[in-house]
């Protein structure tokens, strides 16, 4: 039912019918939001250990670290795995990604985030057809269900990862908010090009020994803010 009325000389329209929003952009923003209850904020993915070791000391070194992890790990393995999972879910590919996590913390991170997202999706009627899903597997299931354009979904995934890394640096280095925004501006320009890359499976790579070493050291780090 639609009702008409006036307020302050203007004609207004109200309706009893709820608005129905089906935009894939809205769903994508929801998936990429830091309010998504998957616990991403509690992980630094080795960044905190890099700070403890003195490799990351200020805004410049924080940007260098995050850039290298983005280019040599996320762009060369995580992004193409996600692209493949969006096209077609697969237990074997999920298990391959879990096995590619070099340390106990990195493995626990993707499984915990994947579990949390899969549980959330199940509660709203979306199935994740993977046993013990890694985070990219659960994310891909939502992308397929909501029919989000794959390229946009990958860019949003990369942005969410980048934003989380920058916020970890802001908290742990620490950095000012302006410095954090400058890193997001600089590295955010790389995300579209990464999403547009087509890497054949034989070219996938996750060779980041420095990250693996520091992540392993973080497991026994005495004082820390993050779980990885």
Domain locations in the chain as residue ranges: 25-218
Q: Output the pLDDT for position 224.
A: 86
The answer to whether 44 touches 217, Cβ cutoff 8 Å, is no
Residue 37: CB atoms within 10 Å = 10
Q: Output the pLDDT for position 5.
A: 44
- The answer as to CATH 1.10.4190.10 being correct for domain 25-218 is yes
Q: Taking all residues of the chain, what is their mean pLDDT, rounded to a whole number?
A: 90
Kindly indicate the confidence band of residue 223, based on its pLDDT and cuts at 50, 70 and 90.
Answer: confident
Q: Output the pLDDT for position 15.
A: 42
Residues 133 and 117: their CA atoms lie apart, in Å, by: 9
Token pair belonging to 16: 């009893």
pTM above threshold 0.95 = no
Residues 89 and 77: their CA atoms lie apart, in Å, by: 16
Kindly indicate the confidence band of residue 22, based on its pLDDT and cuts at 50, 70 and 90.
Answer: low
Kindly indicate the confidence band of residue 222, based on its pLDDT and cuts at 50, 70 and 90.
Answer: confident
Nearest of 200, 177, 153, 193 to residue 70 by alpha carbon: 193
pLDDT above 90 for 94? yes
Residues 214 and 216: their CA atoms lie apart, in Å, by: 5
The answer to whether the bond into 174 is cis (omega within 30° of 0) is yes
């Amino acid at each position: 039912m639609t009702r008409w009325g006036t307020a302050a000389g203007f004609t207004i329209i109200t309706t009893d019918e709820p608005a129905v929003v089906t935009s894939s952009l809205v769903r994508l923003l929801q998936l990429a939001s830091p309010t998504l209850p998957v616990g991403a904020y509690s992980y630094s993915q080795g960044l905190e250990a890099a700070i403890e070791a003195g490799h990351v000391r200020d805004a410049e070194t924080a940007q260098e670290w995050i850039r290298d992890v983005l280019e040599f790990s996320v762009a060369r393995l995580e992004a193409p795995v996600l692209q493949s999972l969006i096209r077609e879910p697969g237990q074997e590919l999920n298990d391959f990604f879990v096995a590619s996590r070099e340390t106990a913390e990195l493995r626990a991170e993707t499984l915990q985030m994947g579990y949390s997202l899969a549980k959330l999706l199940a509660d709203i009627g979306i199935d994740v057809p993977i046993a013990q899903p890694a985070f990219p597997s659960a994310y891909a299931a939502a992308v397929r269900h909501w029919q989000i354009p794959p390229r946009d979904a990958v860019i949003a995934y990369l942005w969410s990862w980048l934003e989380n890394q920058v916020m970890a640096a802001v908290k742990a280095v620490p950095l000012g908010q302006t410095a954090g925004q400058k890193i997001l501006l600089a590295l955010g320009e790389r995300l579209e090009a990464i999403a547009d890359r087509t890497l054949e499976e034989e070219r996938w790579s996750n060779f980041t020994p420095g990250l693996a070493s520091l992540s392993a050291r973080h497991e026994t780090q005495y004082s820390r803010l993050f779980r990885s």
